Amino acid sequence: MDFSWQYVHDNFDWLGHVVEALCIATVLTVLGLAFFKRRTALIIGLAFASGHFHGREKRDFEIATRMPPPHLDAYKMWNWSWDQATDFWPVAAVTFVLLIMTIRYKRTPHD
């Protein structure tokens, strides 16, 4: 059986970005535990991970269209290519759902 990494890249590249965002959020959460309660550190980590991918895809759009960064038109995500959109939106959806779950989670005294 020959495994095609090109197939994985073409069809599941978005999943790698989600995993990367969760790793970024984990690292930031662990670092934040030195200064914040667990829940707050997790919210900071997830928010940073989501913002990181938005900034990266915005920069990629600016480069692809030869737009000098920083450029306000690059925030128009509906103009992004399909690849840029599928890199960002799954990450945004997963981090948003995790943020909502974290915020709505019933607090305990040690959170």
Q: At 111, is the pLDDT very low, low, confident or very high (cuts 50, 70, 90)?
A: low
Q: At 108, is the pLDDT very low, low, confident or very high (cuts 50, 70, 90)?
A: low
Decide: helix, strand or coil at residue 104.
Answer: helix
Question: Length of the chain in residues, anyone?
Answer: 111
CB 96 within 8 A of CB 23: no
Kindly report the pTM of this predicted structure.
0.76
What's the Cα-to-Cα distance from 92 to each of 40, 63, 97, 98, rounded to whole Å? 19, 21, 8, 10
What's the Cα-to-Cα distance from 76 to each of 63, 99, 104, rounded to whole Å? 14, 24, 30
CB 29 within 8 A of CB 1: no
